[in-house]
Structure 1
Amino acid sequence: MSFSSAPKTIAGKPVGPIGYGLMNANSLQLLKHYFTKYPEDASRVVLSIKGAYDGATQSPTASPEQIRASVDECLTLLDGTKSIDLFEPARVDPNVPIEETVKALAELVEKGKIGSYGLSEVNAQTVRRAHAVHRPAAVEIELSLFSQGALEEAGVVDTCRELGIPIVGYSPLDRGWLTGQFKTLDDLPQDDFRRFYPRFQPGNFEKNVELAGAVEKVAKKKGVTSAQVAIAWVQQQGVLPIPGSTKVERVQENTKYVELTEAETEELHEALSKAHVSGHRYPEMFQAHLDK
């Protein structure tokens, strides 16, 4: 859970309550409602929250003061119904040394306000600098068949494996591309935020439909869905995938375990090697805070 549409401020700097959704019905408030009704489930759920990010300006806010405020706001919204097992600054704040951010997070762990901390969208050097202060419990990267940059370029995966840090892969379905549901631009609602993303722009869209079709071909031969193949590939890399779902049937589909054979993996790689995914994974306004 990350980002806010209604940022608050401390000393004139935005810190923002965290949660997807409306101000009075966001994800943390829904979680509070759920765990109030089913308190026995609290210990069965690992709650990972991303915060310290200003949704209004789309920029990280990860000074020690802002980190503490972000965590306190989350705890206020949860109202004692569930602890925060893992808290991650959504991005690296270019105005704050990572050591200062991590020191604040480590203090919150010591105080029992969060169980552990993680990092998101970082490079190998940042992981090492953070680890020198306090070991992260997880590092989150974007990883999918369409977004393999973290495996190929950043070195962050090898660094995490060297240091024994679990890796979490967000957007394993590449914002829906790898579900096989997009055939034309008309399949995307006019008000869908993804229309602003490069891979969904005219020109890029048509090329990516062909690549998504190659994944769908493997899925049909295997008797599973494209999403299940895409998630299985991420798991095959030793990464924990966290697909987003808004429907019960999608959650059930995405949590069904599927294992790819060596031949299936090779077929996927061969198909994707013949053409490149068209378009960057984020619009330009977001790119400044990636892989930092």
Structure 2
Amino acid sequence: MTTILGKEVGPIGYGLLNLTHPARGIPEEQSIASMKQALDSGANFWDGGEHYGTPDRNSLHLLRNYFARFPNDASKIVLSIKGCLKPDFTPDGTPEGVRRSVETCLRVLDGKKKIDLFECSRVDRNVPIETTVQALSDLVKEGKIGGISLSEVSAKTIRRAAKIHKICAVEVEVSLFSDHVLSEGIAEACAEYDIPIIAYSPVGRGFLAGQWKSVKDIPQGDTRLMFPRFSPENFDNNLKLVQAVQQIADKKGITTAQLAINWVRQLSQRKGYPVFIPIPGASTEGRVVENSEVIDLTAEELSDIDSILASFETAGARYPERFMDQLNG
């Protein structure tokens, strides 16, 4: 367990993106049941966003309705919300943009749950990070948010931001496909300031669940087909990693998703690294239970995975080209 804003959070959290994705069309009752199961399974760090869904139905609306139904759960959850994106999904880290985003989120939540952590989804490269963090710091002082997180930032940005205000968490993509936080100094910078890493997409956007054997298995219209790692020219190469780690998972009697999630979680045990909290997303109660199970991989299993990763190179970028310049801000 680790502590954020004085509250203990479980070793595996819960991401809400899948629940309100317009293309998924998940009924609200199913979403609320999955959220309830997440809390019951010990996943009390929840990650939502102003842009997770549409302006009329996003994760904030879902959270408001959940806590209206289960008001006693509000104090049990550490809620992290992302925002500060313009309608065209470009970052807005200006003081005015930060305040607009936070106040919009608070208005939708309607007092049902406070925002424990708030982060700008991406760094606005036209605004100094010090200016953005100072704007967030002002909102902390006003009591509108509990603390500040960062998202998709470089080690340099973490250090600059931490000089302005305490940073409570850093969110970044981490998976067997995406381990750049380990090689680019991000993990070390977080450890330096005792900042936990919130690891999103620990199952590689579902790739590491092992359900797809061919790019043709992914339904037409699925947004994952927009991501380079799922493109026909990259899919077969990336499938090799899934097949390799699946042998380890099968031998242990767990799913590849469980292996992937707990590999990320156990990065916390490695010397010089901070706490890693993976936040898998799941839209059914059964999958929530599966994803939330803490399973310790042995030293031998971790070594075998390291050997696989040492000889494997992920094919394709993490995001479509138009979004790549927003990463590692």
With structure 1 as the length reference, what TM-score do the two structures score?
0.92
Separation in structure 2 between the aligned mates of residue 219 and residue 201 of structure 1, nearest angstrom: 25
Separation in structure 1 between the aligned mates of residue 159 and residue 257 of structure 2, nearest angstrom: 33
- Say if 1:19 and 1:28, in contact at 8 Å, map to a contact too: no
Percent identity between the two aligned chains: 48
One of 219, 233, 253 as aligned partner of 2:249:
219
Separation in structure 1 between the aligned mates of residue 178 and residue 159 of structure 2, nearest angstrom: 23
Which residue matches 1:59? 90
Q: 1:26, CA displacement in angstroms?
A: 1.9
Q: 1:273, CA displacement in angstroms?
A: 2.2
Which residue matches 2:172? 141
- Say if 1:58 and 1:286, in contact at 8 Å, map to a contact too: no
Whether 1:30 aligns to 2:62 is yes
Which residue matches 2:76? 44
One of 178, 197, 201 as aligned partner of 1:171:
201
Which residue matches 2:131? 100
Q: 1:272, CA displacement in angstroms?
A: 2.5
Separation in structure 1 between the aligned mates of residue 261 and residue 313 of structure 2, nearest angstrom: 20
Q: 1:19, CA displacement in angstroms?
A: 4.0
Separation in structure 2 between the aligned mates of residue 50 and residue 22 of structure 1, nearest angstrom: 14
Whether 1:80 aligns to 2:111 is yes
Q: 1:177, CA displacement in angstroms?
A: 1.2
- Say if 1:146 and 1:277, in contact at 8 Å, map to a contact too: yes
Separation in structure 2 between the aligned mates of residue 275 and residue 41 of structure 1, nearest angstrom: 43
Q: Which runs of 5+ in 2 are unaligned?
A: 1-15, 22-48, 269-275
- Say if 1:51 and 1:90, in contact at 8 Å, map to a contact too: yes
Which residue matches 2:305? 268
Q: CA RMSD in A?
A: 1.6
Separation in structure 1 between the aligned mates of residue 267 and residue 139 of structure 2, nearest angstrom: 32
Which residue matches 2:219? 189
Which residue matches 2:280? 243
Separation in structure 1 between the aligned mates of residue 55 and residue 155 of structure 2, nearest angstrom: 36
Separation in structure 2 between the aligned mates of residue 272 and residue 199 of structure 1, nearest angstrom: 16
1:226 is matched by which residue type in structure 2? T
Deviates more, 1:20-29 or 1:171-180: 20-29
Q: 1:20, CA displacement in angstroms?
A: 2.0
1:280 is matched by which residue type in structure 2? A
Separation in structure 1 between the aligned mates of residue 307 and residue 237 of structure 2, nearest angstrom: 16
Residues 147-187 of structure 1 deviation map (CA, whole Å, 9 limit, x = unaligned): 011101x2111011011111111111111111111111122
1:199 is matched by which residue type in structure 2? R
Q: 1:22, CA displacement in angstroms?
A: 3.6
Separation in structure 2 between the aligned mates of residue 187 and residue 113 of structure 1, nearest angstrom: 45
Q: Which runs of 5+ in 1 are unaligned?
A: 6-16
Separation in structure 2 between the aligned mates of residue 24 and residue 58 of structure 1, nearest angstrom: 16
Write the mapping of 1:12-23 to structure 2, written as runs, cut at 5 A. Answer: 18-23=50-55
1:174 is matched by which residue type in structure 2? G
Q: 1:60, CA displacement in angstroms?
A: 0.6
Residues 123-159 of structure 1 deviation map (CA, whole Å, 9 limit, x = unaligned): 111111101110110011211111011101x211101
Aligned residue pairs, count? 278
- The DSSP-based 3-state class of the residue aligned with 1:208 is helix
- The DSSP-based 3-state class of the residue aligned with 1:175 is coil
Separation in structure 2 between the aligned mates of residue 168 and residue 159 of structure 1, nearest angstrom: 14
Separation in structure 2 between the aligned mates of residue 272 and residue 278 of structure 1, nearest angstrom: 13
Q: Say which structure, 1 or 2, has more relative contact order (CA 8 Å, 6+ apart).
A: 2
Separation in structure 1 between the aligned mates of residue 60 and residue 192 of structure 2, nearest angstrom: 34
One of 274, 277, 287 as aligned partner of 2:324:
287
- Say if 1:84 and 1:114, in contact at 8 Å, map to a contact too: yes
Write the mapping of 1:126-137 to structure 2, written as runs, cut at 5 A. Answer: 126-137=157-168
With structure 2 as the length reference, what TM-score do the two structures score?
0.82
Whether 1:232 aligns to 2:269 is no
Q: 1:275, CA displacement in angstroms?
A: 2.5
